[in-house]
Amino acid sequence: MPVPHQLPDLTGHWVGFAALAIFATAYALVIAEEATQLRKSKPVVVAAGLLWVMVALVYTRLGLSDALEAALRHVFLEYAELLLFLLVAMTYVNALEERQVFDVLRARLVRAGLSYRALFWATGGLAFVISPFADNLTTALVMCAVVIVLGREAPRFVALSCINIVVAANAGGAFSPFGDITTLMVWQKGLVAFADFFRLFVPSVANFVVPALIMHFAVPRGAPEARAEPVSLKIGARRIALLFAATIATAIGVHSFLHLPAVLGMMTGLGYLQLLDYFLQLRGRRRSAESDYTFNVFQRIAGVEWDTLLFFYGVMMCVGALGLLGYLTLASHLLYGGLGPTAANVLIGIVSAVLDNIPLMYAVLTMQPDMPLGQWLLITLTTGVGGSLLSIGSAAGVALMGQARGVYTFMAHLRWTPAVATGYAAAILVHMVLNAHTF
């Protein structure tokens, strides 16, 4: 955070204690979202405003208003880049969903006539392959829909497959800058080059495959009845998929070769989608078949998960304020100075099974400890896959508990946490062996 050195340490000041209490209360409400039905963005957005006002009261009295403003603008700019990047990515995913791309994929799996064990591997494998490009939440929901349709008579198959899907979706997102918010944040910060993320491919495969092999023998034998479910792609679906690929390529090129923020490429990609919107509607009017060609990009933008985007705002602003109070410096000394980077990064990954990985990663990025590439890849891996240890540790797990209510539960996942933890340990060991020269 580019602010003057020698800012006051307010960790022992009343404003520091009050800020911690407010943030802890807000985050407790986030964790209790399912019970309270209070959307997770609301408490952290309020907490963010309160924290910055409290910090401002102290900084103004100390004559540090300029430092405070510079810090606020820096955090807000980082959020704006993340917001616009995710807005475009989510819009494309929504567009593909509206054009029935995911419905067609689900229908083909339902019609395939695979055995329970084959479906266990197919849904997990597809979750691993799709999540580097689409968000892990959408990927998990699509695969879970297949499992629920075909597993009505086999609840154990549904529960095990849901665990497998959560692990696979989180693992698949860990080796791609587009696969998870944490990887995106690390890439945008310039700490890991685009190509270097793929050093985590084999560790991510180990994270998925090891627990899947352990669970495989518990999946029931036999096969569900194949069901006919005719679904076809809507007009423009393939072109939207191609434009999404072109958008990702534009973002990579802008960031890697021109050294400009990747969000510039993503916003240009949104323009591609807007032009396709225009031509689809124009073609529909010419053919007097407008209903077949109806596609409104602004409806897709309106349909993105705004609660999640506002949650990121609240979290990033809260963490930024706590950094100004001195808590991130203190945490950096305790973790990276005391435990060492390897132990600290592994521990943070485990903690991400309870606390959301977004504030944890943003806190580490704000601390910016002096670490080699191998350690930055390690923290990217652990925060990406650590949430799989518990069903509440990732958005995919929480969503599937709602989708497969009563079958995939917290306790059902907890029974297999040792298997998931084995995959977590295997991924770390594989990374440290294969990428030893980066440490």
Q: Name which residue leads in pLDDT, 149 or 165.
A: 165
Region of 347 please: left (phi>0), alpha (psi -120 to 50) or beta. Answer: alpha
Q: What is the pLDDT of residue 228?
A: 67
| Max Cα-Cα span within the chain | 73
Q: What average pLDDT does the segment 37-53 reach?
A: 92
End-to-end CA distance of the chain: 25
Asked if 340 contacts 297 with a C-beta cutoff of 8 angstroms, the reply is: no
Could you give the percent of the chain with pLDDT greater than 70? 95
Assess whether pLDDT exceeds 70 at residue 426.
yes
Q: What average pLDDT does the segment 120-124 reach?
A: 94
Asked if 46 contacts 22 with a C-beta cutoff of 8 angstroms, the reply is: no
Q: Name which residue leads in pLDDT, 339 or 31.
A: 339
Q: What is the pLDDT of residue 4?
A: 46
Q: What average pLDDT does the segment 9-14 reach?
A: 89
Q: What average pLDDT does the segment 127-155 reach?
A: 83
Residue 329 neighbours by CB distance under 10 Å: 15
What is each CA distance from 140 to 124, 137, 307, 314, 400, in whole angstroms? 9, 5, 19, 25, 7
Separation between Cα atoms, residue 392 and residue 350, nearest integer Å: 13
Could you give the percent of the chain with pLDDT greater than 90? 42
In terms of C-beta density within 10 A (0-12 exposed, 13-18 middle, 19 or more buried), how is residue 287 classed? exposed
Tokens matching residue 112: 């395939």
Helix axis angle, 237-256 to 65-98, nearest 10°: 150
Q: What average pLDDT does the segment 327-350 reach?
A: 89
Q: What average pLDDT does the segment 302-329 reach?
A: 87
Q: What average pLDDT does the segment 311-339 reach?
A: 88
Asked if 160 contacts 119 with a C-beta cutoff of 8 angstroms, the reply is: no
253-279 per-position pLDDT tens digit: 998 888 888 899 999 999 999 999 988
Q: What is the pLDDT of residue 290?
A: 53
Phi, psi of 319 (to 5 degrees): -65, -40
Assess whether pLDDT exceeds 70 at residue 6.
no
SS3 369: coil
352-400 per-position pLDDT tens digit: 888 778 788 888 888 888 899 999 999 999 999 998 998 878 878 877 8
Region of 390 please: left (phi>0), alpha (psi -120 to 50) or beta. Answer: beta
Assess whether pLDDT exceeds 60 at residue 131.
yes
64-107 per-position pLDDT tens digit: 888 899 999 989 998 898 889 889 988 988 898 888 888 888 78
What is each CA distance from 313 to 79, 84, 127, 300, 329, in whole angstroms? 6, 12, 28, 21, 21
Q: What average pLDDT does the segment 281-286 reach?
A: 76
- 256-242-205-187 Cα dihedral, nearest 10 degrees: 20
263 secondary structure, DSSP code: H
Assess whether pLDDT exceeds 90 at residue 53.
yes
Q: What average pLDDT does the segment 111-119 reach?
A: 86
Assess whether pLDDT exceeds 70 at residue 315.
yes
Q: What is the pLDDT confidence band of residue 287, given thresholds at 50, 70 and 90?
A: low
Output the average pLDDT for the chain.
Answer: 87
Q: What is the pLDDT of residue 355?
A: 78
Assess whether pLDDT exceeds 60 at residue 291.
no
Assess whether pLDDT exceeds 80 at residue 1.
no
Assess whether pLDDT exceeds 80 at residue 137.
no
Q: What is the pLDDT confidence band of residue 197, given thresholds at 50, 70 and 90?
A: very high
In terms of C-beta density within 10 A (0-12 exposed, 13-18 middle, 19 or more buried), how is residue 50 classed? middle
pTM beyond 0.85: the answer is: no
Separation between Cα atoms, residue 394 and residue 389, nearest integer Å: 9
Q: What is the pLDDT of residue 312?
A: 83
Per DSSP, the residues of 218-230 read TS--S-PPP----
Length of the chain: 439
Q: What is the pLDDT confidence band of residue 22, given thresholds at 50, 70 and 90?
A: very high
Separation between Cα atoms, residue 115 and residue 322, nearest integer Å: 52
SS3 405: coil
Q: What is the pLDDT of residue 435?
A: 94
The residue whose two tokens read 């807007």 is 274
Q: What is the pLDDT confidence band of residue 288, given thresholds at 50, 70 and 90?
A: low
